Chain A
Amino acid sequence: MAAFDYAPAIAVFPLVAFALALFGGRYLPKRGAIAGIAATGASLVLSLWMVLTLATGADPHQQTLYTFVAGAEGVASVDLSFGIFIDQLSALMLVIVSLISLLVHVFSLGYMNDEGETGLPRYYAGLGLFTFSMLAFVFSDNLLMSFMFFELVGLCSYLLIGFWFRDDAPSSAAKKAFLVTRFGDYFFLIGVVAVFATFGTTAFVGEESFIAMAEQAMPGSEAAVPGVVSDWLGVVGLSASQWFTVVGLLVLGGVIGKSAQFPLHTWLPDAMEGPTPVSALIHAATMVAAGVYLVARMYGFYALSPTALGIIALIGGFTALFAATMALVKQELKQVLAYSTISQYGYMMLALGGGGYVAAVFHLTTHAAFKALLFLGAGSVIIAMHHNENMWDMGGLKDRMRVTYLTFLAGSLALAGIFPFAGFWSKDEVLYETLIHGLGSTSGTLLLLGYAFGLLAVVFTAFYTFRMVFLTFHGDARTDTAEDPEPVRWNVKVPLAVLGVLATVVGVINLGAIKNFIGESNLFLHEWLFHGAEGLNGEHYEQLLHDFAGYSAADLGPLGPGAVSLALALVGVGLAYRLYGGADPDPHMTNLGSIRTLLMNNYYLDEFQVWLATGVTAPVARAADTFDQGIIDGVVNGVSSVSLFSSDRFRRIQTGVVTNYAALLTLGLTLLVLVFALAGGWF
């Protein structure tokens, strides 16, 4: 397999770009941008080669690159290693990540270099490291390696969100992003340890992987329960399905943090303080996508537990609706997009929980295209508006920024889920999969609840998206800057054009809603993901969902639900047009009164979390500190003070008079002789 020999280079190229920009960025053309573009371009080419190799019938490729802790032979021990695993899912994700990263690098030429920012080598080094971490995370062949690069992704987001560290807001947003995701990662870490303890391995692939072992350990599977698993289940005292649910939910903690799901979504809107290209990268391809990708990667594990799936679906559906409501009232362009990201990742979680593995990956793909497009479009608008992000200061930009408007509109139509743009197909499939599994399964109540949330969110999504479009691009210019926006150059327009085309057409890879007309075999993504590695493909997952989670699909055609969601989306667009489509729209949202205040303040969740920290955690920590200082240290100090006191008394025999020492020596010798005499029985 010659092609796969080059797989590690996919991640190494951005790492080299990182090192070049970090150490020699000052001397490089464009301060390291060219190196980054070359590196991500090379990664993209290699990733496409991987996809092509797989598409022409090669088997998925797993290879251990480096074992940094080798367990002893013959005893129950674990190996910790780095390895790569290229299968249909990871190859697809590699293409997405390297493509978005390449376009973001190009866009950064316009957004950062042309705007005369300082510290550019640091910026491009951050982008390079970010891309490297995400690519390595994607092709990890074991959970521990995933965890390490998951953390590295978090670190990079900290570095890039806080790029303008001299201002207060970005640095505090960076800290918040780091800490909130870290809170979730803490559970992930425990989950990794639990996987190690249960299975003795964290590999994703093969007969010896934890996913395969978990399946064998489930009651009702034909294979024998692996010894190490049954030993461990004896220790915990839970049945296999209960314990796997616990482990799955622990790992899910990290996913909720990274993918910004309720209640750990609060970091993401603040992360808008970073440079806009970074936001595009974080939201479309790296960081936030990492969480959903992780669930997809170990979907065979989650598919064993209907409880975990139900929770994922409910969290996803709720987040989709919850975040969409907050996006309704925001006044800043990037804030609206930030909440839409949370909402869209909620859809992906809903799909995963609802048994729609393909739908989730599909939505991940289309969302990467249209959300990167929207963020870069927003970046273009921000350049034009001299870094004013308030939509009420814009208006009428559509004639003055033709390329930006058209591409942004394509992205918005995709986000709103309007036929035939990419988002329609994927969002429809998410909802459809959830619906049929909710109707067909015995335990489908949670799924149907999630579906209801998701369906309602469709209206909101369409509404806030087109409120954004109308306010930004339509009507009359409301400020002088909007009257005469700064022009943008090719390096902004080219990425927009590429993504604009993608956001329009990428839906063709899985035209699920009309599968009855084009035939099941023409759902390319479906076919692609159903032919993965042994035990790690969509077909096997469906089997697992049916056998262990009790999911079965209701007999319902895709056309009806698709029409419903399209109709709802059109209702949202129409409402937005009615309210904001005029030449000089009024701020209708102020009519909502106290509800608007609640939404503007994000349901006071930030305040609640701060209160949790200062009102609950801090007093508990103080009490623990008092206990530590008073009781624990008190005991230790008491012991030492006894010995201090006694030694203080004891040292007084050191009189300094030689005669006394001589007397003590003599006395000691006499005593010694006496002791020997008594012990030896001389008397």
Chain B
Amino acid sequence: MAIQPEFYLLLSAGVFCAGLFGVLARSSALMFLMSVELMLNAANINFVAFSFYYGNVTGQVFSLFVIGLAAAEVAVGIGIILVLYRNFGDIDVTEPVTMRW
């Protein structure tokens, strides 16, 4: 056994960066949602890894909460995307820019 915790951290950092890139660079709202999901799961990896490392289940419980939170967030996000599509005929987030100064 015994994969060193550094590897988990590296994996988690990699997944998080992928998600961050998606949020910053993509213009499709669906891609946004997926990228956010990636970032949340990167955090989950950390929770589970450290929970395992310390032999304490608190981290795993927290990851369950994060998954629940992610589900709720997706439900809201999908709703927003639907409205976005209905109003602009597209789900490109660079389109609706009227809410500014």
Partners in one complex: yes
A residues neighboring B (CB under 8 Å): 651-652, 654-659, 662-663, 666
- Cβ of B86 within 8 Å of any chain A Cβ, yes or no, is no
Q: Which residues of A contact B24 (CB under 8 A)?
A: 659, 662-663, 666
Most interface-central of A654, A659, A663 (chain B CB within 10 A): A659
Closest A residue by C-beta to B27: A659
Closest A residue by C-beta to B93: A658
CB distance from A134 to the nearest CB of B (A): 67
Q: Are A654 and B100 in contact, with the CB atoms below 8 A?
A: yes
The 11 sampled A-B contact pairs (Cβ below 8 Å) are: A651-B101, A652-B101, A656-B98, A657-B94, A657-B97, A658-B32, A658-B93, A658-B94, A659-B23, A663-B24, A666-B24
Band of interface residues on B:
10 to 19
Closest B residue by C-beta to A663: B24
- Cβ of B66 within 8 Å of any chain A Cβ, yes or no, is no
- In the complex, A147 Cα to B32 Cα: how many Å? 77
Q: Are B101 and A666 in contact, with the CB atoms below 8 A?
A: no
B residues neighboring A (CB under 8 Å): 20, 23-25, 27, 32, 93-94, 96-101
Closest B residue by C-beta to A653: B101
Q: Which residues of B contact A656 (CB under 8 A)?
A: 96-100
Given contacts A656-B96, A657-B94, A659-B24, 12 further A-B contacts (CB under 8 A): A651-B101, A652-B101, A654-B101, A656-B98, A656-B100, A657-B93, A657-B97, A658-B93, A659-B25, A662-B24, A666-B20, A666-B24
Q: Given known contacts A666-B20, A666-B24, is B101 in contact with A659 (CB within 8 Å)?
A: no
Number of residue pairs A-B, CB distance < 8 angstroms: 28
Q: Which residues of A contact B99 (CB under 8 A)?
A: 656
Q: Are B20 and A655 in contact, with the CB atoms below 8 A?
A: no
Q: Which residues of B contact A655 (CB under 8 A)?
A: 97, 100
CB distance from A645 to the nearest CB of B (A): 14
Q: Which residues of B contact A663 (CB under 8 A)?
A: 24
Q: Are A662 and B23 in contact, with the CB atoms below 8 A?
A: yes
Q: Which residues of A contact B93 (CB under 8 A)?
A: 657-659
CB distance from A595 to the nearest CB of B (A): 79
- In the complex, A40 Cα to B24 Cα: how many Å? 90
CB distance from B65 to the nearest CB of A (A): 22
CB distance from A658 to the nearest CB of B (A): 5
- In the complex, A662 Cα to B99 Cα: how many Å? 15
- In the complex, A540 Cα to B25 Cα: how many Å? 100
- In the complex, A666 Cα to B93 Cα: how many Å? 18
Q: Which residues of B contact A659 (CB under 8 A)?
A: 23-25, 27, 93-94
- In the complex, A657 Cα to B23 Cα: how many Å? 12
CB distance from B34 to the nearest CB of A (A): 14
Closest B residue by C-beta to A656: B100
Q: Which residues of A contact B94 (CB under 8 A)?
A: 657-659
- In the complex, A663 Cα to B32 Cα: how many Å? 13
- In the complex, A652 Cα to B101 Cα: how many Å? 6
Closest 6 pairs (CB-CB, A-B)? A656-B100, A656-B97, A651-B101, A658-B93, A654-B100, A662-B23
Q: Which residues of A contact B100 (CB under 8 A)?
A: 654-656
Q: Which residues of B contact A651 (CB under 8 A)?
A: 101
Closest A residue by C-beta to B99: A656
Closest A residue by C-beta to B32: A658
- In the complex, A659 Cα to B93 Cα: how many Å? 8
Q: Which residues of B contact A652 (CB under 8 A)?
A: 101
Q: Which residues of A contact B96 (CB under 8 A)?
A: 656
- In the complex, A663 Cα to B25 Cα: how many Å? 9
- In the complex, A659 Cα to B27 Cα: how many Å? 8
- In the complex, A618 Cα to B67 Cα: how many Å? 77
